Structure 1
Amino acid sequence: MFDEKMLLDLQSTLGSHGILISFSGRFSQGIIEELGEAIMEHMKAEDRPRNDIYNVFAIFVEITHNIKKYAQSKLGSDFYDQIYSSGIVTIGRNEEGYFICSGNLVEKTDAEKLANALDALIPLDKDQLKKCYKEQRKKDLPPGSTGAGLGLIDIARKSSKPLHYSMRDMQDLEFFTLTVMV
């Protein structure tokens, strides 16, 4: 049973890791907007630089939309309910700056594609990321595509450090985590 001690322990754990906002579950447009607004207000109250506020907000929105769109794309999959309910995002601050850490279940074939895309982006510097972004914008969208493939590149461009990701085997699925520093 969940009680006040467990809630206090959870609050203490989040605070000790610098987590300001955390959400776990099914992402909707309303939840994304409310959480985005909350983090912007928090950062403004701390008198953070406008560019930091914009980058944290933009990365948060891109990541949460990616989780939501991915889950919606799995409608009809045997794992749809698991995938749709698996999203989590945290935003926090530590000595290096702000971090956005997210996770969600992905099908194994998609995990491999995602890892390949990230492995190609991580070693690139800011100029190379800018060039990659411009090249990607010029490409035609592949049939059945839901986007131009710019999201991860844009996240990497706004990040102050190389992206960090991991995959954890969860039997039929992989739990994908992404950490972005601003």
Structure 2
Amino acid sequence: MNNQLYEVQRFLQSNRILISFSGKLTQGLIEEYGAAVKKYLEHAERPTSEIHDVFSIFIEQTQNIKNYCSHQEKSPHGERIASSSVVTIGKTEHNHVIHSGNLLANDDVLCLRKTLDQIVSLDKTELKQLYKAKLRETVSPDALGAGIGLIEMSRKVKHPLEYSIIPIDEHVSFFTLKAVV
């Protein structure tokens, strides 16, 4: 295990990952990590707008995972899905990169792909229009959301959101989302 942990540390360092979390997300953990992210960026003397964008995208991604896991709680794969959460914040020369990932029930893949494909195809003006339209919609209590958080993220990023969905088995796939600020 010691060698494996060293390999994890080398991977994080070589990919300039500043903060990482893997496991079951709770509201308390999201708040603690959010506060740590904010303090880290303030200590690094980043512009207020950058701190706000990185912080809000981190919070949105973690909340999306937590909410999805809560929705899947009673499913046969609920615990497996809840324990699959991973979130990282990394730094490139000019940007911050926020990655998130979690298992996703295969029944939800098509709907998520459709939502994301629509969002990533839009320019800033179209995103603003879609955002306003979604705010006016009534969301069913059973729905996972109207995608407003994804639209908000898309409006803040420097490059379109990137995502992947990798089939794992007949029940779940692994979903990743990348946002560059």
Q: Provide the TM-score with structure 1 as the length reference.
A: 0.94
Equivalent of 2:35 in 30, 33, 37: 37
Compare 135-144 and 19-28 and name the one that shifted more: 135-144
**Which residue of 2 is the match for residue 168 of structure 1?**
166
Describe how 1:26-175 pairs up with structure 2 within 5 A.
26-145=24-143, 147-171=145-169, 172-175=171-174
Q: Distance in 1 between matches of 2:160 and 2:145?
A: 23
1:19 counterpart letter in structure 2: I
5+ residue gaps in structure 2? none
Q: Distance in 2 between matches of 1:18 and 1:102?
A: 16
1:174 counterpart letter in structure 2: S
Q: Distance in 1 between matches of 2:110 and 2:144?
A: 18
Q: Distance in 2 between matches of 1:160 and 1:70?
A: 26
Q: Root-mean-square deviation (CA), in Å?
A: 1.3
| C-alpha deviation, 1:7, in angstroms | 2.5
| C-alpha deviation, 1:139, in angstroms | 1.1
Fraction of identical pairs, as percent? 41
**Which residue of 1 is the match for residue 178 of structure 2?**
179
5+ residue gaps in structure 1? none
Q: Provide the TM-score with structure 2 as the length reference.
A: 0.95
**Which residue of 2 is the match for residue 25 of structure 1?**
23
Deviations 1:141-160 (A, max 9, x none): 22423544311111111111
Q: 4+ runs of 1 displaced by more than 4 Å? A: none
